[in-house]
Structure 1
Amino acid sequence: MDARAATWGTAWGTTTAEATRPCAPGSAALTVAGVALVADLSGALWWPDRRMLLVADLHLEKGSACAARGSLLPPFDTADTLERLAWVVAYYGPEVVVALGDSFHDAAGAERLSPEDRAHLVSLQRGRDWIWIAGNHDPDPGRDVGGGFARELQFGPLVLRHEPAGLGTVGEIAGHLHPCARVVHRGRSLTRRCFATDGRRLVMPAFGAFTGGLNVRHAAFDTVFDGAGFITHLIGDSRLYTFPATRCVG
């Protein structure tokens, strides 16, 4: 863990009236382990009392990684992801941003950043703290990307990490699984990225432009939630749609 990151968990509290700033249109209020949070339409998570913005699974430079293996994808995923992240940062004005792992698609992703994307990333970090949590794709992010580094962090009752721990964990916010949900309504099927939570823990959707999704009815979620007793917040075009997991289909 980065030396400065070790102190972050106790450094911040509710300190400004700005913490009550209205959340962005289309977002949804939720609670994890008694902590009030805001699921943003972008796929980011806002913690008003800590003025903290969380994002998961940016997978920057996935396009260039695929191109190196002969799968040619448009090389604009990093620019698109950073542009969407910039909008959320500009709206909420966080004091700290935490990226919950797999921020780069592979260990060399940071080295492949274009000068323009690197400059954009630097500008997003200016005036705030930025913490990179290690993921399975980027266990040791490049040290030339700014910010601090940690394996996981605890802030009050919440633990921020990349991969969800086993059943029974309380107060965890994680990524890794790229949750998406499929619902059928009036004969029509819709599949969207989603936040998944049972009120005790939360799995965040992947934020990156080229990231896929894993259906919340997949067996992988059985190791996170006890049965289908959790809620999904599907990311629509203009708002979040809330469905119990029992309404979601595989």
Structure 2
Amino acid sequence: MASHGAERLVVLGDFWHGAEGLTPVLIQAVDGFAQRVPTVLVLGNHDRRIHPPDLPLEVVSTAWVSGPLTAAHEPPPPGAPGFTLAGHWHPAVVIASRAGDRLRRPCFVRYPHALVLPAFGGLTGALTMRRADLARQGAQVAVVGDGELHWLPLRR
């Protein structure tokens, strides 16, 4: 984060999936990181059920606002004011080759009012988004490959 000049980390919810995952090693790592970098945790559907130990986190229940940008766990409805960064869906798309090969990849979904971020953890799961539906909604989709974003064509 320091190499990118980041001043703060904002976690878009579900930092903890279950209380059994709050191991002493993880708690120590989060504490050490949050001591160096101001960290905001927007509570997600899993975080709300867990009471983590006292950590130097700014915890907010639904959204964290900085100027015109809102950070939330769940994406807002279409037409919401401002612009929101959100998680929760863990979006993914299927990419198919002409030969019939299929690859399911985490993706970023960009709407006029929001950017839904993917999850890259091995245990997070994903919601496969239909590209035709996304096109009808006016969305754009990007996947990460070779260290960069690749915007995918969407057909209605």
TM-score range, shorter chain: 0.7 to 0.9
Query: Alpha-carbon deviations, 1:159-212, whole Å to 9, x = none?
Result: 111011222124111110000111223423221101110343110111433111
For 1:124-139, list aligned pairs within 5 A: 124-139=33-48
8 Å CA contact 2:11, 2:40 repeated in 1: yes
1:176 maps to a residue whose letter is: H
Identity of aligned residues (%): 33
Give the match for residue 244 of structure 1. Answer: 153
Higher helix share: 1
Asked if structure 2 preserves the Cα contact closer than 8 Å seen for 1:194 and 1:233, the reply is yes
Query: What's 2:104 paired with?
Result: 191
What is the aligned partner in structure 2 of residue 210 from structure 1?
Answer: 123
1:229–1:246 Cα contact (<8 Å) kept: no
Q: One-letter code of the match for 1:146?
A: P
* Structure 1 residue 90 displacement after superposition: 5.2
SS of equivalent residue, structure 2 residue 136: coil
**TM-score, normalization: structure 2?**
0.82
Shift of 1:226: 7.8
| TM-score normalised by the chain length of structure 1 | 0.54
Q: Name whichever structure is richer in strand by fraction.
A: 2
- Amino acid aligned to 1:103: F
For structure 1, which runs of at least 5 residues remain unmatched after alignment?
A: 1-88
Which one of the candidate residues 98, 108, 113 is aligned to 2:22? 113
Aligned length: 152
Rounded to whole Å, the distance in 2 between the matches of 1:244 and 1:228 is 14
Shift of 1:240: 2.2
Deviates most, 94-103 or 183-192: 183-192
Counterpart selection for 1:144 from 54, 63, 80? 54
The aligned counterpart of 2:75 is: 164
In structure 2, stretches of 5+ residues that fail to align are: none
Q: Are 1:94 and 2:6 an aligned pair?
A: yes
Q: CA RMSD in A?
A: 2.6
Cα distance change, pair 91–186 in 1 and its aligned pair in 2 (3 A):
farther
Q: Distance in 2 between matches of 1:242 and 1:102?
A: 27
Runs of 4+ in 1 over 4 A off after TM superposition: none
1:38-91 residue CA offsets vs partner (Å, 9 max, x unmatched): xxxxxxxxxxxxxxxxxxxxxxxxxxxxxxxxxxxxxxxxxxxxxxxxxxx354
- Given the superposition, is the C-alpha separation of residues 228 and 98 from structure 1 closer, same or farther in structure 2, using an over 3 Å criterion? same
Residues in 1 aligned to 2:94 and 2:117: alpha-carbon distance in whole angstroms: 16
